[in-house]
Amino acid sequence: MLLFIRKIGNTLVIDKPKKSAYNMNHTIKIVIFGGVKMNNIKEFKEKFEQKILESSKIVIVPHSGIDFDAIASAIAISLIARKFNKPTCIIVNDPSYKINHGVQTIINEVINDISIINSNTYMRSRNYEESYQNKFNDLFVLVDFNSYDMLSLDKDFLMNNKTVIIDHHIENEKTIPSDIKYINQNSSSASEILSMLLCMFKVKKTKDIANYLLAGIYLDTDKLSKNITSSTMRLVSNLLKHGASMNYVTELFAEDFISDKKVLELVSKSSIITYCIAIATADDDIEYTKEELAKVADYLLRYKADASFAIGNIGDNKISISARSKDKVDVGLIMHELNGGGTKFSAATKLDNITVEEASKILKKIIEPPYYINE
């Protein structure tokens, strides 16, 4: 059998010649990284519990550009730590005006019960030295990301401290070193993983945490329309049994009129190119949020497109590309080619000092011919 092997960062990609609907090669991915990665969630639970018990405080770090999945998972980790009487804090460095209004609603609901602070406040509270050396034996838990690109604080924070990662995105050469990690690419979201961990740690699910985790799953499955398994639906059912309300969740996702108008205007500028791939290219002089570009990519999948990309200016001389796929195109590998990452269904990247049109041309060169088609 003839196999073609290529390397993308620390990912070995094996192309096995096999005819498909697109006459493309069948792709097998093998990701090789250092560190102790737990493939068994029960094994991870035991190691994670040990790390919690050994630590003075649990510092929970969601990704920059915090979203429903990240905040819900962070709150769930805080509840797990409390079971062992460990103090916690959640680090959020995003300015309030950049936080989605629904995410801000959740933060406002829990802030009197859970410490949500920025990294400067945390440093002052723990008397950090310039070297970021932690004298208090704190444990940093990174949730819903594994790459330095998404880290919301100085990476030197993690150099001298214990670190745990809980995530569902593909690893790459920018994956943060950690003591232990549980990364399950088959999970729809970090919220799905934390729903399981709450059960395993026998933490009682309140109506509030059930709502927040449901919102996290709802986001990362595009409103339960993709990237879902029977396990996902069982967990959704369990959250509903514990008081989660679809009315509450859908209200969190209510659209801002001005933002939604921008999204629909960019959708109207999209075009379908090779192999039913939709690309929406924004004007350079209009600034978008990463969330708005993600909504554009999601919206384009309503049409007969197997994958979609939304490209726009997000300020600070940065261009963002948000990518979505129904199943046949692995957008995670495509974004990896552009130093980004994600899952086969949902991925993104940021490019510096480049125009939107230049970014579009680079993207089209990568997907023509399309190397990332799955059967």
Q: What is the DSSP pairing of strand 26-31 with strand 271-273?
A: unpaired
Place of tokens 């990704």: 63
Rounded to the nearest 10°, the torsion over CA 176, 181, 187, 192 is -110
Question: Given 199, 227, 251, which residue is the final one in a domain?
Answer: 251
Rounded-to-integer distance, Cα 183 and Cα 194, Å: 12
User: 277 and 246 in one domain?
Assistant: no
User: 109 and 52 in one domain?
Assistant: yes
CATH number for the domain spanning 359: value is: 3.10.310.30
User: 265 and 184 in one domain?
Assistant: no
Judge whether 297 lies within some domain: yes
Judge whether 17 lies within some domain: no
Give pLDDT, residue 368: 72
Contacts for 216 with CB less than 8 Å, ≥ 6 apart: 68, 69, 70, 71, 72, 73, 189, 190, 191, 192
Collapsed DSSP state (helix, strand, coil) of residue 320: strand
Rounded-to-integer distance, Cα 249 and Cα 223, Å: 10
Strand partners, 175: 147
Judge whether 152 lies within some domain: yes
Place of tokens 């405080």: 57
Judge whether 126 lies within some domain: yes
User: 114 and 92 in one domain?
Assistant: yes
Q: Other CB atoms closer than 10 Å to residue 26's CB: what's the count?
A: 14
User: 89 and 222 in one domain?
Assistant: yes
Q: Radius of gyration (Cα) for the chain, nearest Å?
A: 20
Contact between residue 340 and residue 347 where contact means Cβ atoms under 8 Å apart: yes
- Overall domain count for the chain: 2
User: 235 and 96 in one domain?
Assistant: yes
User: 362 and 228 in one domain?
Assistant: no
Judge whether 375 lies within some domain: no
CATH number for the domain spanning 227: value is: 3.90.1640.10
Provide the token pair at 46.
């035991």
Rounded to the nearest 10°, the torsion over CA 234, 203, 251, 323 is -60
Per run of 10 residues, the mean pLDDT along the chain (length 375 residues) is: 40 41 38 57 96 96 96 98 97 91 96 95 76 73 94 82 93 91 95 98 97 96 89 96 96 81 89 80 93 93 91 94 90 90 90 95 81 50
Judge whether 19 lies within some domain: no
Place of tokens 């974004």: 335
Judge whether 7 lies within some domain: no
Question: Given 251, 275, 293, which residue is the final one in a domain?
Answer: 251
Closest CA to 13 of 362, 333, 328: 333
User: 328 and 209 in one domain?
Assistant: no
Rounded-to-integer distance, Cα 321 and Cα 113, Å: 36
Question: Given 251, 281, 304, which residue is the final one in a domain?
Answer: 251
Contact between residue 312 and residue 331 where contact means Cβ atoms under 8 Å apart: no
Judge whether 271 lies within some domain: yes
User: 94 and 45 in one domain?
Assistant: yes
User: 293 and 164 in one domain?
Assistant: no
User: Between the CA of residue 235 and those of 145, 200, 208, 336, what are the distances in Å?
Assistant: 21, 13, 15, 30
Give pLDDT, residue 369: 60
DSSP per residue, 58-69:
EEEEEPSS--HH
User: 208 and 262 in one domain?
Assistant: no
Residues in the chain: 375
Give pLDDT, residue 363: 93
Domain region containing 348: 258-367
User: 203 and 80 in one domain?
Assistant: yes
Contact between residue 140 and residue 157 where contact means Cβ atoms under 8 Å apart: yes
